[in-house]
Structure formats: structure tokens, C-alpha cells
């Protein structure tokens, strides 16, 4: 064995010396105890807090999602109710509008009928006044003509009225007889 071989056999880097092995083991146990007593509980506590925070956040998110779904459902329900209410209001307004239109038509018809009736009454009154005026004028003209034909004065007013009334009565009787004959012919 040469000196290099002896040296190589004495110094093996893989096999530690006895005192280094004891010091290394003691140091390892001290560090392991410190890790076990101090650091491991803190690490476990931090991990537990993170786990709790994540799980709690998920639970809160689920609760918030459920609350949002409930709010959305309530919103949809309120929206549906509002639409139904709007439809009812619109229908009620249409019905009222129809009633008002019918009422106004009735009032307009009534006013039209009143105007027509008053117009007819006015026309009848005007016709009667015109007949009376024409009767008087006709009577005067007839008396003047008869005076000229007969040659005597018919200026006496009482006589004049009697003559004119008789003449007009005869004319009306002839007109009535002709109207009844034409009605009878039309009916047959």
C-alpha cells in the first residue's frame, strides 16, 4: 500500500467521521425540533387560514349568487306584474275612451236632432208668416181686381175679408181633394 492508498483509505468523503456524525445529528435534531415546534404550527395555521378563506369565499360567492338569483326572480315577477298592470290600465283607458266617444256621439246626435227640430219649427213659423203675408196681399190684390171687374167698390174691409176667406177656403178644398185623389190613385 502506498501512501496514496493509505491516504485514500483514511479520507473517504462519503463516510463521515464519528464526531462530525454526532454533531450533525444533534444539529439536525435541534433544527428539526425548531421546525416542529415553531415553524410547522405557523405554516399549518397559515394553510388553514387560506383554506378557510378560500372555502368561505366560495360559500359567500354561492350565497351571493343565490341572493342574486332571488333578486332576479323577484325583479322578473315585479316586471311581469307591472306589465299586467300596464295592460289593465291600457284596457281601462280604451274602455273609458270608447264610453266617452259613445257619450259624445249621443250628445252630438241629440244636438243635431235639436237643431233640426228647431230649424223645422223656424221654417214652419216662417212659412206660416209668409202664408199670412201672402194671404193678406193676395186678398188686397183680389179685391182690387174684383173691383175693377165688377165695377163697384169692394173697399169695405169686412166684406173684403169675407170674400178673400171664402175664395181661399175654396182653393184649399180643391187642393185637398186633388191631393186625396192622387194619393188614392197611387195606393191603388
Note the pLDDT of residue 1.
47
Note the pLDDT of residue 158.
64
Extents of the domains making up the chain:
53-127
| 7 or 109, which is more confident | 109
User: How would residue 90 be classed by pLDDT, with cut points 50, 70 and 90?
Assistant: very high
Among the residue ranges 110-119, 132-141, 170-179, the one predicted with the least confidence is 132-141
Q: State how far the Cα of 188 lies from the Cα of 185, in Å rounded to an integer.
A: 5
Averaged over 2-8, what is the pLDDT?
51
User: How would residue 88 be classed by pLDDT, with cut points 50, 70 and 90?
Assistant: very high
The model's pLDDT over 23-73, given as tens digits with 9 standing for 90+, comes to: 989 999 999 998 888 888 888 999 999 888 888 888 888 888 999 999 999
Question: Burial code of 63-76, b = ≥16 C-beta within 10 A, e = fewer?
Answer: eeeeeeeeeeeeee
Can you read off the three cell numbers belonging to residue 155? 173697399
| 144 or 124, which is more confident | 124
Say what angle helices 40-150 and 157-187 make with each other, to 10 degrees.
Answer: 120
The model's pLDDT over 139-166, given as tens digits with 9 standing for 90+, comes to: 777 777 777 776 666 566 666 677 777 7
Q: What is the mean pLDDT of the chain?
A: 82
Share of the chain above pLDDT 70, in %: 85
Q: State how far the Cα of 133 lies from the Cα of 76, in Å rounded to an integer.
A: 83
Q: Is the pLDDT of residue 178 over 50?
A: yes
Amino acid at each position: 500500500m502506498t501512501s496514496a492508498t493509505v491516504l485514500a483509505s483514511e479520507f473517504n468523503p462519503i463516510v463521515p467521521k464519528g464526531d462530525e456524525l454526532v454533531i450533525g445529528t444533534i444539529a439536525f435534531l435541534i433544527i428539526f425540533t425548531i421546525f416542529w415546534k415553531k415553524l410547522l404550527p405557523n405554516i399549518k395555521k397559515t394553510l388553514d387560514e387560506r383554506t378557510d378563506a378560500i372555502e368561505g369565499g366560495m360559500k359567500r360567492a354561492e350565497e351571493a349568487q343565490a341572493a342574486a338569483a332571488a333578486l332576479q326572480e323577484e325583479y322578473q315577477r315585479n316586471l311581469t306584474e307591472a306589465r299586467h298592470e300596464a295592460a289593465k290600465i291600457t284596457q281601462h283607458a280604451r274602455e273609458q275612451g270608447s264610453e266617452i266617444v259613445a257619450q259624445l256621439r249621443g250628445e252630438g246626435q241629440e244636438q243635431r236632432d235639436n237643431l233640426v227640430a228647431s230649424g223645422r219649427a223656424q221654417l214652419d213659423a216662417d212659412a206660416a208668416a209668409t202664408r199670412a203675408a201672402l194671404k193678406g196681399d193676395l186678398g188686397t190684390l183680389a179685391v182690387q181686381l174684383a173691383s175693377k171687374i165688377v165695377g163697384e167698390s169692394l173697399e169695405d174691409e169686412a166684406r173684403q175679408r169675407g170674400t178673400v176667406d171664402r175664395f181661399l177656403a175654396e182653393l184649399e178644398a180643391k187642393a185637398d181633394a186633388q191631393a186625396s185623389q192622387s194619393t188614392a190613385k197611387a195606393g191603388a
